[in-house]
């Protein structure tokens, strides 16, 4: 019995050592961690901003740490056709079959942090008229979307900016889209654009 307990105990610790790390402990002394988002159409390097959006960055890094973005897709590639301008590329919430992925608890909306929804910034998505409902979905601003910034109402919290891979985002923006019955949404790519991995990059020495 004692031997069984010791084996069980060692197994317990070995499993826990493999558990995902909470985002707040990921490069916890790095105010501007960087990640590489590897997609089926190329890679994007993003610098996150803990100084302005600590809750949102740490939440995002939790999902990165547990590798739950692997195999998710960009389900929304939207152009503002009326004004002939690009709008957003959104993803991280569905798999290739457009089934919803596991969500952690919603987070507080940090849209009042001074960061703007300018072109090539990354921001946290939330459900309509529920500003504190953001969990795992994020989007790239593909134009200066001033109307997404807070005004009388809550805006969308920007938590970083693209440093490299602008060409990848521009290429994704050209993908053919249409209505998807499963998620009842327009602007869904007809050929899935897959997030193969999101990798934390090594901290750059100061």
107-122 residue pLDDT tens? 999 999 999 999 999 9
Beta partners for residue 34, in sequence order: 47
Structure tokens at 111: 């849209």
Euclidean distance between CA atoms 78 and 108, whole angstroms: 26
What pLDDT is attached to residue 29?
A: 95
11 or 68: which carries more pLDDT confidence? 68
Segment 178-195, tens digit of pLDDT: 999 999 999 999 999 999
Structure tokens at 84: 């002939």
Structure tokens at 163: 């440093």
**Does residue 33 carry a pLDDT above 90?**
yes
144-154 mean pLDDT: 96
What pLDDT is attached to residue 206?
A: 65
Helix H or strand E encompassing 195: strand 193-200
Structure tokens at 96: 């290739």
What pLDDT is attached to residue 19?
A: 56
Euclidean distance between CA atoms 114 and 166, whole angstroms: 23
125-138 mean pLDDT: 97
Structure tokens at 43: 């890679």
């Amino acid at each position: 019995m004692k031997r069984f307990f010791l084996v069980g105990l060692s197994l317990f610790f070995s499993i826990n050592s493999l558990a995902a790390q909470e985002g707040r402990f990921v490069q916890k002394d790095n105010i501007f961690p960087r990640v590489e988002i590897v997609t089926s159409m190329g890679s994007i390097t993003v610098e996150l901003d803990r100084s302005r959006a600590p809750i949102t960055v740490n939440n995002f890094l939790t999902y990165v740490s547990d590798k739950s973005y692997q195999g998710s897709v960009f389900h929304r590639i939207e152009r503002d056709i009326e004004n002939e301008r690009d709008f957003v590329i959104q993803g991280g919430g569905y798999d290739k079959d457009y089934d919803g992925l596991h969500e952690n608890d919603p987070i507080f909306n940090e849209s009042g942090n001074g960061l703007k929804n300018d072109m090539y910034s990354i921001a946290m998505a939330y459900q309509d008229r529920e500003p504190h409902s953001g969990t795992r979905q994020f989007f790239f601003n593909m134009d200066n979307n001033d109307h997404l910034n807070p005004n009388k109402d809550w805006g969308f919290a920007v938590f970083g900016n693209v440093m490299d891979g602008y060409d990848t985002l521009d290429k994704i923006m050209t993908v053919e889209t249409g209505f998807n019955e499963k998620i009842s949404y327009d602007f869904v790519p007809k050929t899935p654009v897959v997030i193969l991995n999101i990798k934390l990059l090594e901290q750059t020495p100061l």
